[in-house]
A and B are shown apart, each in its own frame.
Chain A
Amino acid sequence: MKRFLAFVRKEFLHIFRDIRTLIIIFGIPVAQILIFGFVVRTDIKNAGIAIMDLSQDDVSRKLTDKIISSGFFINTGHLSSYNEIETEFRKGNTRAVLIFGEDFGRDLTREGKAVMSIIADGSDPNAATLITNYAMAIVRDFNMEIAGPALPGPGMIVPGVKMFYNPNLESHFMFVPGVITLILILICALMTSVTISREKEFGTMEVLLVSPLRPVQIILGKVTPYFLLSFINVIMILLLSWIVFDLPVKGSLVLLLAETMLYILMSLSLGILISTISDTMQQAIFISFLGLMLPTILLSGFIFPIENMHPVYNLVSMIVPPRYFIVIIKNIMIKGTGLMFVWKETLILLLMTVFFISVSIRKFRLRLE
């Protein structure tokens, strides 16, 4: 135990003495959260909106006026048939189309309830969600107005939202789960593989091997500091996204942290595995970037939805661990669901972790060849 603690202490000294390691561990997550957060626009102004008012009644005109005069939208034209919608989007100025069906006015007066639609250009998913959210907020507001303060019951105008080009549009707050997924695999796998191959490259591994330290002690000693630091990191990211972007964790925080620990463990064991097959730091960095960073960004569903992937890529993404973690963390953070909905993904991550650990302990060489 004493040996192990001395080893962990040595690892912490390595980390805290190297400014580059510290930047990677703590600087990059903060920078990524802030960059992603601010690049993804959280407000809209003067978004082009076209109106297709087939009903031409009092209420539809009032609602149109209210939306256009809100300051968030500008009117880019009036359409008279559904066929014109796509042409309108293709022109590029229109981000959304507001549709009142022919029966809108009649339904409203006869049944006290009517359906309108908002169709948004889903090719820019973030903007599309924002626009529809804004438009819907205005409709809700309008509902209150015509119902009067005395009758705050269910709204009379029911807005339906449709996405053009990207019908399964997902929440734009995706970047926080995405960044956590990416950062953890980067720090855990990259840093552990680099720190172990560093010992090989500098020849200190030779001395460690000759010492009475057991492979398990060396591996755990390498991994423990990164486990702790990564965990601090996650808490930091969550706090940051909560304070700066108002993004709370909807589901259970305990469950989220437990799942995160599992994912950290999985990434660390992957890092050890990489270190067993690379002899130099450069090799380790190369394998980590090519084998982990790119698949995490491209194939995990972080940026490109898995549903829209070519079947072959979809198949490849099955072996990319971040794919499962993104589902878990999205569910817990954004949808607020519990373990019941993510147990399958959790099990897959657990199996992957066990697999990577057993392979790397078997592959960890007691000698130099």
Chain B
Amino acid sequence: MKIIESWRICKKYGEVQALDDLSFSVNESEIFGFIGPDGAGKTTLFRIITTLLLPDEGKMRVLGLDVVKGFKELRRKTGYMPGRFSLYSDLTVQENLEFYATVFGTTVKENYDLIADIYSHIEPFKKRTAGKLSGGMKQKLALSCALIHKPSLLVLDEPTTGIDAVSRSEFWDLLGKLRQHRITVVVSTPYMDEAMRCDRVALIQNGKILSVDEPDKIRQGFSRKLFTLRSADKYSLITALRKYPGILTTYPFGETVHVTFSGDSYDDSLLRHLEGLGIKDAVISEAEAGIEDRFLELMEKGVTE
């Protein structure tokens, strides 16, 4: 059974087309990621999935129920963690968890095994008010609260934004473990490295899905040869590269610069060109494209089309 089936969903805010003709489906027990920059429409989409917003056009079935007509039943079966921290910061960890458990008609005891992995990290602080937890712990508590009623579908809107790298990695480990409980996870993130931890990802931009596939396949879809360049003065390197005639794309990637050439290769003239512009320490090597490279390529295409 498909957990989510979406047909041509559209949503407008005034003049802004937040979602434009979105069709996709999510399979059972998979971690499905929506990857895209801020303002791509991820939150709007998630709110439609969780019945908080109505689509202007199109149809969506979640867990076999229509998101418009079946919202009451659907709300019992989904767990939702909004983008910003939305627990009660003046209540303690334990009080928050118990509140959500009761509201969803269950008890902490009943589903403890489900959240044990996650909750055990924060249990030592259960008497502390939620507002005083660190960012990573807040997210773990929010996840526990969203999971406490054993939902069939868990919707997480940018759960790792603003959290340190270690906590982020831990958080994804926990999500991976949910597969064994047959819980389907739909998650959004602006971080490309997290895309690799999903079973399938949808690249989304300006309310449109650019591509849906397994992360590795998306990566392999990169159509050109990719090279990375390195230099102490990255900024000058980028400006110099952009003046080189054979260059197609130049994107800064952390310490390095990712480039593609029109003939998928370069010759000595490149290094001479750079030296002429005062960059003598440039090092170039061929590289494997990452998911972000593919995303940028798709975005570029979208703009020129």
Contact = CB atoms under 8 A, between A and B. Distances in A.
B104 A203 contact: no
A369 B82 contact: no
A202 B85 CA distance: 8
A3 B91 contact: no
B105 interface: yes
B188 to A, nearest CB: 15
Interface residues of B, number: 31
A210 B88 contact: no
A204 B102 contact: no
Nearest to B87: A204
B227 interface: no
Contact of B91 (A7, A13, A368, A369): A13
A368 B53 contact: yes
Given A6-B102, A6-B103, A366-B71, A14 B90 contact: yes
B29 interface: no
Interface stretch (B72-80, B167-175, B178-186, B202-210): B72-80
B52 A210 contact: yes
A9 B100 CA distance: 12
A213 B103 contact: yes
A3 B98 CA distance: 11
B100 A206 contact: no
Given A202-B86, A211-B103, A10 B78 contact: no
Contact of A3 (B51, B82, B105): B105
Contact of B102 (A3, A14, A369): A3
Q: Which label, helix, strand, loop or mixed, suits the secondary structure of the A interface?
A: helix
Interface residues of A, number: 25
Contacts of A209: 52, 75
Interface in B57-113: 71-72, 75-76, 78, 80, 82, 84-91, 95, 98-100, 102-105
A211 B75 contact: yes
Contact of A204 (B78, B88, B104): B88
Nearest to A9: B99
Contacts of A203: 82, 84-86
B95 to A, nearest CB: 7
A206 B86 contact: yes
Given A367-B51, A369-B54, A211 B90 contact: no
Given A2-B102, A211-B103, A368-B52, A206 B80 contact: yes
Contacts of B100: 207, 211
19 contacts: A2-B105, A7-B103, A10-B91, A10-B95, A13-B95, A14-B90, A203-B84, A206-B52, A207-B87, A210-B51, A210-B75, A210-B80, A211-B75, A211-B104, A212-B72, A213-B103, A367-B51, A368-B52, A368-B53
